[in-house]
Amino acid sequence: MKYLICGLGNMHIDYMGTRHNIGFEVADALAQKHRGQWSPDTHCHKTTIKIKNKTLIIIKPTTFMNLSGKAVRYWMQKEKVELNHILVVTDDLNIDFGTIRLKPGGSDGGHNGLKDIQTMLGSVQYPRLRIGIGADFSKGRQVNYVLSKWTDQESKWIPEILEASVKAIETFSLEGISSGMNKYNSFKISNP
């Protein structure tokens, strides 16, 4: 049973530690927990891990965020992964910082990475794990906000968010999305 886990972000060093790259951070945390070794591959950095009897192909697209669909479609087709076994991990302005949401599908919510994936897959019905980054910015400052680094206070909570996100991905892979949603969509950081 194969799953394709795609963490969204931008590879360039300038984007490391920014809100927009939380998908990469989750992918890294998942790979690290299961001793995955990253290597450059077509349109991405990739590692493959096993969790019980499931194979998880984890990718971090190197196409830049707005062209993420190219990598997702390529590896979905190459590895013959079903649409409902894809999980895209992304930042989300529309949910509060310190919360996560598993969803079986839905709109792109104005996120250009999700928009491209939707276009390339020809569907909005692919699972995603949305990591809340909040919307603490003034009008017209959205781009600056998502591409800015976590505050010192937020940085203290990132390990807890990463741990919950990794567990949500493991549950999605082993028990299905409904079980993952039931267990983790109520997650909140312990000291907001």
Which positions are annotated as active-site residues?
Answer: 20
Which residues are CB-neighbours of 57 under 8 A, at least 6 positions away? 2, 3, 4, 5, 46, 47, 48, 75, 79, 81
H-type alpha helices, 3-151: 22-33, 68-79, 112-121, 142-146
Joined tokens for residue 112: 């250009």
Q: Is the dihedral of CA 90, 96, 184, 158 positive or negative?
A: positive
**Relative orientation angle of helices 68-79 and 112-121, to the nearest 10 degrees:** 40
